């Protein structure tokens, strides 16, 4: 086991450093499915070949005109409160991270995903797919227009409901360079029983997953605004998930 100057430990012997105070453990008893999916053998560091770290390039040419606006991807208007979600992606030194591909996915305003295994009795919205993407600009800034997602039930524990959230996936210059996290809304009454939220050991780190209401960027008669900055590393790092999950 090695320790970095910041106190982050390599418990795998591979050179992989994980901040155990900020990021959730790979196996968290409160989140039942991690018992089935967490690694049960020591991690192995696999070297990346040139083709894996140099391509495909994630440039603006791969984006559609309305990929960033989830409210205009269909002919009709989606149901729910229209919102703007914007912010900046920064590194551990506080410098902006430009030209990074960001993808989001979320439930609709009623709390249902457009997914074959999501069949709880809440109607799908024919005018909302719940998926968007954009690339940060030269200052590391991004902007999405969407609808505020609803809470939804899941079967992790008795009377389990997930707080409203939006999934974020951030890419570097290749698909092997990817981080996944979730953005939550302030004041949600369901935090107390959500294992994903509570799996973050440090309370201050949890708060970095909360967006803030941004009245100045609210557009009159159109959309409320929320700001959420994402920090990739360092003391102010945004907690990231250990695996991709549709929940």
Q: Please report the pLDDT score of residue 173 as a whole number.
A: 66
Radius of gyration for the alpha carbons in the chain, expressed in angstroms and rounded? 18
CA distances from 20 to 3, 32, 91, 140, 235 (A): 12, 20, 19, 27, 12
Residues belonging to the active site? 113, 152, 162, 165, 167
What integer pLDDT is reported at residue 56 of this predicted model? 58
C-alpha–C-alpha distance, residues 219 and 84, integer Å:
9
What domains lie within the chain, and their CATH numbers? 65-231 (2.60.130.10)
What phi, psi does 89 have (nearest 5°)?
A: -100, 125
Which pLDDT belongs to residue 18?
59
pLDDT in tens, the chain (247 residues): 223 334 444 444 445 555 666 667 776 777 777 777 778 887 777 777 777 666 656 667 778 999 999 999 999 999 999 999 999 999 888 899 999 999 999 999 999 999 988 989 999 999 999 999 999 999 999 999 999 999 999 988 999 999 999 999 998 766 667 889 999 999 999 999 999 899 888 888 899 999 999 999 999 999 999 999 999 876 678 887 654 444 5
- pLDDT value at position 220? 97
Instruction: Report the alpha-carbon distance of residue 146 to residue 150 in Å, rounded.
Output: 12
pLDDT of amino acid 57: 62
Long-range contact set of residues 52-58: C-beta below 8 Å, sequence gap at least 24: 52/174, 52/175, 52/176, 53/173, 53/174, 53/176, 53/177, 54/173, 54/174, 55/174, 56/174, 56/175, 57/173, 57/174, 58/99, 58/100, 58/101, 58/135, 58/171, 58/173, 58/174
Quote the pTM value: 0.82
């Amino acid at each position: 086991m090695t320790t970095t100057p910041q106190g982050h430990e390599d418990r795998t012997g591979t050179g992989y450093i994980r901040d155990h105070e900020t990021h959730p453990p790979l196996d968290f008893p409160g989140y039942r499915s991690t018992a089935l999916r967490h690694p049960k053998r020591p991690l192995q560091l696999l070297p990346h070949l040139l083709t894996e770290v140099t391509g495909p390039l994630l440039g603006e040419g791969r984006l559609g005109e309305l990929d960033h606006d989830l409210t205009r991807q269909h002919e009709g208007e989606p149901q729910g409160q229209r919102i703007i979600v914007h912010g900046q992606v920064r590194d551990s030194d506080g410098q902006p991270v430009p030209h990074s591909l960001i993808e989001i996915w979320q439930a609709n305003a009623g709390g249902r995903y457009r997914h074959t295994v999501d069949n709880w009795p809440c109607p799908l919205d024919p005018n909302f797919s719940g998926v968007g993407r954009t690339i940060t600009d030269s200052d590391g800034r991004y902007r999405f227009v969407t609808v505020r997602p609803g809470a939804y039930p899941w079967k992790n524990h008795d009377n389990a409901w997930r707080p409203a959230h939006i999934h974020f996936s951030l890419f570097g210059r290749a698909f092997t360079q990817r981080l996944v996290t979730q953005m939550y809304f302030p004041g949600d009454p369901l935090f107390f029983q959500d294992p994903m939220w509570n799996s973050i050991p440090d309370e201050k780190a949890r708060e970095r997953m909360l967006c803030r209401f941004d009245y100045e960027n609210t557009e009159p008669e159109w959309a409320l605004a929320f700001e959420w900055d994402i920090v990739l590393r360092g003391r102010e790092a945004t907690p990231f998930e250990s695996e991709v999950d549709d929940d």
